[in-house]
Structure 1
Amino acid sequence: MARVRTVLVVDAANVVGARPDGWWKDRAGAARRLHEALLTAPVPHDVVVLVLEGGAKAGVRPGRDAHVRVVHAARDGDTEIAKQAREAAEAGREVTVVTADRALAANVAGVARVSGPSWLWDVLEETT
């Protein structure tokens, strides 16, 4: 029997915003740093979907880079994150969404597990 592929959908704005490191001065740079960290981190998922919105979109082009796929939200990030989670679940994937946004977490509860930004930061720091 084939193993079910796992997908991690990352609310980039929420994850970056969880650390008061001056990210608001350079949203594009913060998105780029998060993307780079996800490329090398020991994330326990087959695919990572990094959803960018607003000024952060200037930091990383949309598309796939190794196991990380960058998606630029056409509207708001929450709508795109929910869409990505649903599409992955409908394709038979096990989905985890990383966010601290309670409304978004409630919106994806039927299709995904939810982990907070601190969990992802812990994983990312394993490589440093």
Structure 2
Amino acid sequence: MTVLLVDVANTVGARPDGWWRDRAGATARLLDRLAALPGTAPPGPDGAPVPVTALVAVVEGRARDVAAPAGVRVVRAEGSGDDALAAAAAELADGDDDLLVVTADRGLRDRLPGAARVTGPGWLLATADAAAQR
């Protein structure tokens, strides 16, 4: 069983689709797409199934007040999104489930617990795209 922890700002920024014109709107759209993942077992970054038991999304800045769709736990960063994500990762790494963190931020990757696996936003976006086509 796996908990996905998502660096939402980093993931939204991975596709040049005009997200910068409406950060909150882009965040809300991404969260709505990600809400379909808990309870599924998509192919992981290494090809093995990832049974997603929970999805935790860290939001920050202008996107901090977006609504949380059913099935997604939203962590609203009061300050630095990286600090909030690192704290959430430390908390989640103590649980029974595997932790898969989605970020391309190399500095943030260095702050994650050793037990956390890490992948980039490309995998998550492709996974969300595939789930939307089902």
State whether structure 2 residue 47 is matched by structure 1 residue 47: no
Aligned to 2:4: 8
Match of 2:108 among 101, 104, 109: 104
The 3-state SS of whatever aligns with 2:83 is helix
Contact kept, 8 Å, 1:96 with 1:113, in 2: the verdict is yes
Deviation at 1:40, TM superposition (A): 1.7
Taking the aligned partners of 1:33 and 1:14, their CA distance within structure 2 comes to 14
Q: Percent identity?
A: 46
TM-score for both structures, normalised by structure 1: 0.87
Contact kept, 8 Å, 2:11 with 2:103, in 1: the verdict is yes
The 3-state SS of whatever aligns with 2:84 is helix
Alignment root-mean-square deviation, CA = 1.6
- Listed as ranges, the gaps of 5+ residues in structure 1 are none
TM-score for both structures, normalised by structure 2: 0.83
Instruction: State the one-letter code of the partner of 1:56.
Output: A
- Listed as ranges, the gaps of 5+ residues in structure 2 are 43-50
Aligned to 2:122: 118
Alignment of 1:24-43 (within 5 A): 24-41=20-37, 42=40
Deviation at 1:30, TM superposition (A): 0.6
State whether structure 2 residue 92 is matched by structure 1 residue 85: no
Instruction: State the one-letter code of the partner of 1:92.
Output: D
Taking the aligned partners of 1:31 and 1:86, their CA distance within structure 2 comes to 24
Taking the aligned partners of 2:93 and 2:7, their CA distance within structure 1 comes to 17
